[in-house]
Amino acid sequence: MKLIVKVFPEITIKSRPVRMRFIRQLAKNIRAVLRDLDPAVVVNGVWDNLELETRVSEPKLLKEMTERLSCMPGIAHFLQVDEYPLGDFDDILAKCMLHYGDALAGKIFSVRCKRAGKHPFSSMDVEKYVGSQLRRQCGAAGISLKDPQIEVRIEIRDQRLFVIHSQHDSIGGYPLGSLEQTLVLMSGGFDSTVAAYQIMRRGLMSHFCFFNLGGRAHELGVMEVAHFIWKKYGSSQRVLFVSVPFEEVLGEILGKVDNSHMGVILKRMMLRAATSIADRLHIDALVTGEAISQVSSQTLPNLSVIDCVTEKLVLRPLIASHKQDIIDTANEIGTADFARHMPEYCGVISVNPKTAAKRGRVEHEEKEFDMAVLERAIENARLVPIDRVIDELGQDIQIEEVGEALAGQIIIDIRHPDDAEDDPLSVAGVEVQTMPFYAVNARFKELDPTRQYLLYCDKGVMSRLHAHHLLSEGHANVRVYRPS
């Protein structure tokens, strides 16, 4: 299979050195993302696009390649093509008839030709000749440039002819790794996940930083959604997941800070911690999912007071976004279900939160705060490569596993809905239910407590993690299903 990858249009208006750097980075990213599917994949760069060749022919692998490229920053769209040496107009016609001839009978069509290089003819010359001959020889109903039922698309590049079969859109933006690094503050909800996506789509390599305010389930949920975003949109780069234990910090705030200033001061402590971690990683910018006045701590005066504690650039890609627009984007990128089922955590709830906090008053409130507590939290932060975060969580967790399901037990397939749909689990004589891993913690309590449930996933890691959490929550009727 051959693909022509069209780069994001903004890349084409860059200076020559910048443009070539972006193109090289995109080619490197494509090789990295597709290497496990085809170790011999070939990606060659030219001035305004990339050409990709693979010998993989299995439909399932080709579908996976297409899905990965459709989620890669830097790609506007890509074309599946067949390549031929450029011949005369009759030869071009023959190649078009080979691919489109049977589909044109009784249909209204158009011919679209793009051309690069020096030729004794124009793109319009090709379109006129090929279009008139296809109409005559294939029994087409007519030609319409405005509203065709079928588009016959070809590209001519120097002495090569490409007949285009299909076009797949991607997400645009700049290639990951072509710009600087950032540290994204992640809560796992709608806002922070969409902010992370927006930053990654702009080509900024994004590490994830989570502040744990007192919940193993919340930490697990954020790890899962961070891993999902990275795997889908950013797996060409290796980044870190940072988990900072903030329970003691929260306790210090609750005990020593005036109620109305708790929210602002908590955010200031998070920025201080994130700044320290970013310094360690040589990162110059922080990213948050805040939007103007969405909650009390996000008014302009409060954001200004919060930002005073860091010299880092704080990026807020959602700053002027409406909540429904953020939710719509989360649905599009696949993080909405994670956000909806994200476990609740014990946050700071002010009865009458300040919407216009004064810097002097906030600093006065912080004088009672023991900064050694914050330093301990930073020292105890865990930094884990994102590609290992799920596997590491599963280590040293001893959960009963069974290799065979018995009648009366229920298997719960906790894989991602796409995986469960593509490769459904079927076990003779045993009921199988699907419940995505991001919904297990919230929905398990709705199940019949008198039944025995076996959690299933491909590698057994996610199922062990969730079984461990459910057991710790008092659900004794859960095991892990690992068929032999």
Binding residues for ATP: 185-186, 267, 289, 298
Q: In what order do the strands lie in the sheet with 75-85?
A: 42-45, 49-53, 2-7, 75-85, 160-169, 150-157, 108-116, 142-143
What lies within 8 Å, CB to CB, of 327 at 6+ separation is 190, 336
Using only C-alpha atoms, the chain has a radius of gyration, in whole angstroms, of 27
Q: How many helices (H) and strands (E) does the chain have?
A: 17, 19
Q: Is 231 strand, coil or helix?
A: helix
71 given a catalytic annotation: no
- The answer to whether 153 touches 54, Cβ cutoff 8 Å, is no
CA–CA separation, 308 and 294 (whole Å): 20
- Angle of helix 59-69 relative to helix 16-34, nearest 10 degrees, comes to 140
CA atoms within a 13 Å half-sphere pointing along the CA-CB vector of 180:
13
Query: What is the helix, strand, coil percentage profile of the chain, to 5?
Result: 45, 20, 35
- The answer to whether 356 touches 299, Cβ cutoff 8 Å, is yes
Helices (H), 73-213: 89-100, 123-138, 190-201
Which DSSP state fits 368? T
Which DSSP state fits 87? -
- The answer to whether 134 touches 140, Cβ cutoff 8 Å, is yes
Q: Supply 51's token pair.
A: 């050409």
From the list 71, 96, 138, 457, the catalytic residue is 457
77-108: buried (b, 16+ CB within 10 Å) or exposed (e) per residue? bbbbbeebebeeeeebbebbbeebbeebeeee
At position 418, the amino acid (one-letter code) is D
- The answer to whether 147 touches 248, Cβ cutoff 8 Å, is no
Residues annotated as catalytic (active site), given as ranges: 457
